[in-house]
Amino acid sequence: MHLLSAGYASALLLIALLSQVTSLEPIIGQYGEMLKIPCNSGAIKAEDIAITKWKYDKGDGVPGYLLVKQKNQNVSISATDEYKVRVSMDKNSSLLISAAKLSDQRTFTCMVVTGGDVFEYPVNVLIHKLPAKLEISGEAEELEIGRLTKLGNCVAKDANPPANITWFKNNKPLEADGKGISIKVSVVVESSTGLSTTTSTLEYSAMKEDTGARFKCRADGLPLESSSMNFTITYSTENIMLEVSPQKELKEGDNLTLKCVADGNPAPTSFNFHLKGELVTVENTDTYTIANVSRDATGEYKCSLTDDTSMEATRNITVTYLDINLSPSGNIVKRAGEALNLSLQIDSSGKAEVSWTKNNAKLGKQPNFTKLGYSDSGRYEWTVTVGHITRTASFDLTVEGPAVVKSLFKNRSNDGQHKVLTCEAEGSPKPAVSWSINGTVLGESPFVNGKITHKIKVVPSANLTVHCTVTNSLGNDSRAINVSSLIEEVRMDKQDQSEDSDQTRLVVGVIVGLLIATLVIGLAYWVYSKKSKQGSWKTGEKECGSSEEEKKLEEKVEENSQKAEV
Ligand SMILES: *[C@@H]1O[C@H](CO)[C@@H](O)[C@H](O)[C@H]1NC(C)=O
Ligand SMILES: *[C@@H]1O[C@H](CO)[C@@H](O)[C@H](O)[C@H]1NC(C)=O
Ligand SMILES: *[C@@H]1O[C@H](CO)[C@@H](O)[C@H](O)[C@H]1NC(C)=O
Ligand SMILES: *[C@@H]1O[C@H](CO)[C@@H](O)[C@H](O)[C@H]1NC(C)=O
Ligand SMILES: *[C@@H]1O[C@H](CO)[C@@H](O)[C@H](O)[C@H]1NC(C)=O
Ligand SMILES: *[C@@H]1O[C@H](CO)[C@@H](O)[C@H](O)[C@H]1NC(C)=O
Ligand SMILES: *[C@@H]1O[C@H](CO)[C@@H](O)[C@H](O)[C@H]1NC(C)=O
Ligand SMILES: *[C@@H]1O[C@H](CO)[C@@H](O)[C@H](O)[C@H]1NC(C)=O
Ligand SMILES: *[C@@H]1O[C@H](CO)[C@@H](O)[C@H](O)[C@H]1NC(C)=O
Ligand SMILES: *[C@@H]1O[C@H](CO)[C@@H](O)[C@H](O)[C@H]1NC(C)=O
Ligand SMILES: *[C@@H]1O[C@H](CO)[C@@H](O)[C@H](O)[C@H]1NC(C)=O
Ligand SMILES: *[C@@H]1O[C@H](CO)[C@@H](O)[C@H](O)[C@H]1NC(C)=O
């Protein structure tokens, strides 16, 4: 205030002298350095000057004389105060004052006497001093999000005029907004020097984005700035999550890892895990692992902060499991025709998908063995799936039974040169087939579903009864077939070709006999009726006159002849 009013007074004085002399710009001197106050700035030539005299205003209009120089004489110091040792004058009549101080901020007047005129040149002097540096002190260790925190003091020490300080965040100036940014400035004038120390205190409410932001302060208009600084932004946990691994499906036997994920800076380092009610506290980790979980681990799990249990996350965890029991299992041997009772048990955490294969081929439905056949033999596999758990059970079923002959028949080759005998057998283990005659073995079918077919080629030279005998470890069976001589057949009429049993021959014999008898009776009847009236049929036209019995017999003959047509 004092300085200001002094400056104001000087300005008034300056204005007052304006009418008389050329006004001068205020001279700015640097604190502590030699202050040079020019006189009349060369308006009057040095040789014209008779007397140069410097004075200053002591206040209240009382002049203080500093020095005087008369032409061709040495400078004479007139000052008696502190200026006595500080003042001098150079050749251009400039007043020199050593070690400028703030108290030198006043008006110095140069009086010049020429031939007969007296001129006064008042000069207003200002003393400036830059602050040595800008320094941030008392900075915060960390900034807490949302809390107005003193970030630091920016100090501009010993300056004149007092430094104005501006704060910057990432090179953008910060202005007090009454909420998140508050800037308090204090200026302290040191009484001995008059220099001002400006302290600007920034209070700042950090946001998350301020992580890594760089703060600094700068003196307005001066090439001075502080070093920049960054701060750890701290905030308390706002979100907490319980992560469960494996993420997709937790199976019995898996390792269950619980991870408590909480934000905050610094991040929390200890957590509480609530394992279905049981509390476990972990330090310096955020995970907890339960190895080899069992189905009993299904339940509710939580994690929370140890220092703020209201920050809590909850997860319901389900352990999937699957147990199956298939009875019977292993190798099962059953007799054909018996039943096989399957017992299937599933104990699982969820809906099970069930499928069956037999010999690796998919079955449409569960096999039902109420009456086992040979074709039921095979490897059965039961696959049950729940989630990602798949279990299989299997059994090998063998259906066995004694060897039996299912059929035995003969066929004549197209050219009539030989006969093929076919014996079809069933049974398991594989029946061995044997024949009662030696023939050329044509082949044996593969043994499939308990069936086997055996063929031989024979060229019988006589009527034969051929046996097919089948045998396995569980039993044997035999069947016979009559095979007529091929040589005779070739000679025989088609009608008479009978190679069946003696019974057939007997039947034929009976038929022939009956036919003869019929002919004889018919002839007698014809002779008799010819006498009475004209007859209508002739001998040989059998079909017209055959009796019921004859018809039956004829049919039998037909049958037999067809059988013989081999
Ligand atoms: C001026 O001062 C110098 C030494 O500083 C001296 O030699 C000289 O005689 C003086 N002149 C006058 C006129 O006093
Ligand atoms: C004196 O003034 C003139 C012109 O203003 C200047 O050229 C010269 O350097 C000055 N001399 C000194 C010693 O200041
Ligand atoms: C400081 O700010 C004030 C007010 O804005 C201004 O008058 C003064 O000149 C400034 N000082 C500096 C050294 O810039
Ligand atoms: C401050 O910044 C430096 C360099 O960019 C960085 O290495 C340091 O980690 C930061 N410190 C903080 C607390 O952000
Ligand atoms: C469970 O962890 C143990 C060791 O901690 C490891 O040997 C085992 O393989 C893990 N089991 C599974 C299913 O990852
Ligand atoms: C997992 O636990 C079951 C019983 O719960 C046990 O039979 C099995 O051996 C365990 N497996 C391991 C790898 O520890
Ligand atoms: C967990 O299950 C319980 C009971 O079944 C239920 O009350 C709770 O809301 C569930 N919690 C979650 C996070 O699903
Ligand atoms: C099949 O199993 C059921 C139940 O296990 C039983 O009641 C039934 O008697 C069994 N049948 C046979 C033929 O074993
Ligand atoms: C198996 O088949 C029998 C008759 O074919 C039937 O009575 C029975 O219910 C079936 N059993 C199953 C389990 O399908
Ligand atoms: C062989 O004879 C049987 C009946 O005796 C008949 O079913 C089958 O078709 C015949 N096969 C051939 C190749 O003639
Ligand atoms: C079949 O042939 C063998 C020798 O090959 C012979 O010993 C056997 O007596 C013959 N059997 C018949 C029924 O002809
Ligand atoms: C074979 O049987 C037929 C009738 O079936 C008969 O006519 C024939 O005489 C018989 N041959 C021999 C050699 O017994």
Range of weakest confidence among 312-321, 355-364, 502-511, 532-541: 532-541
Three-state secondary structure call for residue 9: helix
Q: 161 with 26: CB under 8 angstroms?
A: no
pLDDT single digits (tens) 433-466? 999 998 889 999 999 999 999 999 998 888 989 9
**Could you tell me what percent of the chain has a pLDDT over 90?**
65
- 163 CA distance to ligand 3 middle (Å): 7
The CATH fold assigned to 401-488 is Immunoglobulin-like (2.60.40)
Atom of ligand 8 nearest to the CA of 339: 13
Sign of the four-CA dihedral 326, 327, 330, 336: negative
Range of weakest confidence among 54-68, 286-300, 475-489: 475-489
SS (H, E, C) 254-302: CCEEEEEEECCECCCCEEEEEECCEEEEEECCCEEEECCCCHHHCEEEE
End-to-end CA distance of the chain: 149
Of 187 and 211, the one with more pLDDT: 187
Band of pLDDT at residue 413, cut at 50, 70 and 90? confident
Band of pLDDT at residue 509, cut at 50, 70 and 90? low
Residues 6+ apart with CB under 8 A from 80: none
- 104 CA distance to ligand 1 middle (Å): 29
pLDDT single digits (tens) 309-331? 999 999 999 999 999 999 999 99
- Cα 246 from Cα 315, distance rounded (Å): 13
Give the closest ligand to the alpha carbon of residue 46.
Answer: 2
Three-state secondary structure call for residue 83: helix
The CATH fold assigned to 240-320 is Immunoglobulin-like (2.60.40)
CATH of domain 2-128: 2.60.40.10
pLDDT single digits (tens) 207-221? 888 988 999 999 999
Pocket of ligand 5 (CB under 6 A): 254-255, 291
Q: What is the pLDDT of residue 100?
A: 95
Cα angle 425-430-433, degrees, rounded to a multiple of 5: 50
Band of pLDDT at residue 335, cut at 50, 70 and 90? very high
Q: What is the pLDDT of residue 15?
A: 39
The separation between CA 528 and the C-alpha centre of its own chain, rounded to angstroms, equals 115
Sign of the four-CA dihedral 96, 97, 98, 100: negative
Which amino acid residue places its CA nearest to atom 9 of ligand 2? 92
| Residue 300, ligand 7, Cβ within 6 A | yes
Model pTM?
Answer: 0.58
Atom of ligand 7 nearest to the CA of 315: 13
- 75 CA distance to ligand 1 middle (Å): 9
Nearest to 68 by CA among 78, 58, 83: 78
Strand order from edge to edge, sheet including 51-57: 27-30, 118-128, 107-113, 51-57, 63-70, 76-77
Q: What is the pLDDT of residue 1?
A: 40
Q: What is the pLDDT of residue 405?
A: 96
Band of pLDDT at residue 415, cut at 50, 70 and 90? confident
pLDDT single digits (tens) 40-90? 776 788 788 899 999 998 888 888 999 999 988 899 999 988 899 999 999
Superfamily of domain 134-234: Immunoglobulins (2.60.40.10)
- Cα 287 from Cα 281, distance rounded (Å): 10
- Cα 21 from Cα 17, distance rounded (Å): 6
Q: What is the pLDDT of residue 484?
A: 87
- Pocket-testing residue among 160, 166, 187, 220, ligand 3, by greatest number of atoms within 8 A of Cβ: 220
SS (H, E, C) 317-370: ECEECEEEEEECCEEEEEECCCCECCEEEEEECCCCEEEEEECCEEECCCCCEC
Q: What is the pLDDT of residue 25?
A: 80
Asked if domains 240-320 and 401-488 share a fold, the reply is yes
- 488 CA distance to ligand 12 middle (Å): 7
Residues 6+ apart with CB under 8 A from 77: 66, 67, 84, 87
**What is the per-residue burial (b if ≥16 Cβ within 10 Å, else e) of 412-439?**
beeeeebbbbbbbbbbbebbbbebeeeb
Nearest 10 degrees: Cα torsion 39, 44, 50, 55 = -20
- 92 CA distance to ligand 2 middle (Å): 6
Q: 159 with 131: CB under 8 angstroms?
A: yes
Nearest to 10 by CA among 24, 31, 21: 24
Q: What is the pLDDT of residue 4?
A: 42
Q: What is the DSSP string of 147-177?
A: S-EEEEEEEEEEEBSPPPEEEEETTEE----
Q: What is the pLDDT of residue 178?
A: 87
Nearest to 229 by CA among 208, 215, 211, 210: 215
Averaged pLDDT score across all residues of the chain? 85
DSSP 130: -
- 253 CA distance to ligand 5 middle (Å): 9
Residues 6+ apart with CB under 8 A from 173: 166, 167
* Burial class for 511, CB neighbours closer than 10 Å (0-12, 13-18, 19+): middle
Domain spans, the chain = 2-128, 134-234, 240-320, 322-398, 401-488, 504-565
Spell out where 413-431 has E strands. 419-428
Q: 472 with 399: CB under 8 angstroms?
A: no
Q: 256 with 289: CB under 8 angstroms?
A: yes
Q: What is the mean pLDDT of residues 5-12?
A: 42
Strand partners, 508: none
**Most distant CA pair in the chain, distance:** 214
Q: What is the pLDDT of residue 265?
A: 85
Amino acid type, 61: G
Of 208 and 423, the one with more pLDDT: 423
Query: Which residue's entry shows tokens 């009956």?
Result: 514
Is 3.30.750.24 the CATH number for 322-398? no
Band of pLDDT at residue 190, cut at 50, 70 and 90? very high
pLDDT single digits (tens) 127-163? 999 998 899 999 999 898 889 999 999 999 999 999 9
Q: What is the mean pLDDT of residues 411-425?
A: 91
- Cα 88 from Cα 76, distance rounded (Å): 9
Atom of ligand 2 nearest to the CA of 41: 5
